[in-house]
Structure 1
Amino acid sequence: MITIFLQAPAGDGGGMTMMLMMALMFVGFYFLMIRPQMRKQKQEKNFQAELKIGQRIVTTSGMHGRVAQIMEDGIVIETLSGKLKFEKSAISRDYTQGRFPANAPDDKK
């Protein structure tokens, strides 16, 4: 039975149809997955760049605190247990807006 399908002649324009389908799939992946992820990363970078001293934040690991000092290689966060130094990339825009919505900037772009 399989040999019948393998010996069947290819239809006309089959290659072009396949290329068109692949192109449509790539465009779909771009608009459904890649572009929203790039937008989210850009918003996260902007949020981390606009941090101010005294702002309440939440890290990606769930640590709550206030920004005590901003340095070139990281941020010092004041928590109830003392001051801790974190990388800027450890601060989450989503968690901060979820916990402190009035404190975080509103990005509706």
Structure 2
Amino acid sequence: MTLDLLAAAAGAAAAPPAWISFLPIIGMIAIFWFLIIRPQMRQQKEHREKVAQMKKGDQVVTAGGLVGKVVKVDDVYVELDLGPNVRVKAIKATIGDIILPGGTPAND
């Protein structure tokens, strides 16, 4: 009988606390946050800052792949010169990247 009581007491003492079962889930959320969400948020912030600093004369690439020179910048729109007698109006948020000066032009 004493062995049964000792075995029952040992079994009850060996049970882990309930919060330990949540540790793997919390760990996966932390890994997901630091490997996927946080870097993506940082990229979006850098892109917003870059687009906000866009000025006349910058060469840009749109999300659709068009390469042009900024002629006019508005709060919402950007007017781009794509070539001789070709001007388009694009939404500012669709600008994919600003090409640094000294880069190779798209048509050369």
Question: Is the pair's TM-score, using the shorter chain for normalization, greater than 0.5?
Answer: yes
Deviation at 1:72, TM superposition (A): 2.0
Contiguous gaps of at least 5 residues in structure 2: 1-13, 104-108
Q: Which moved more, 1:74-83 or 1:42-51?
A: 74-83
SS of residue matched to 1:92? strand
* RMSD across aligned positions (CA): 2.0
Contiguous gaps of at least 5 residues in structure 1: 1-10, 105-109
Decide whether the 8 Å contact of 1:55 with 1:103 is kept in 2.
no
More strand by share: 2
Aligned residues: 89
Task: Find the aligned partners of 2:27 and 2:50 in 1 and give their Cα distance.
Answer: 34
Deviations 1:38-88 (A, max 9, x none): 000001100100001010000011001000001122110111151100011
Q: Amino acid of the residue matched to residue 26 of structure 1?
A: I
Residue in structure 2 matched with residue 31 of structure 1 by the alignment = 34
TM-score, structure 1 as length reference: 0.73
Point out the structure with max Rg over C-alpha: 2
TM-score, structure 2 as length reference: 0.73
- Which of 43, 47, 52 pairs up with 2:46? 43
Deviation at 1:16, TM superposition (A): 2.7
Q: Amino acid of the residue matched to residue 29 of structure 1?
A: F
SS of residue matched to 2:78? strand
Percentage of matched positions with identical amino acids: 27
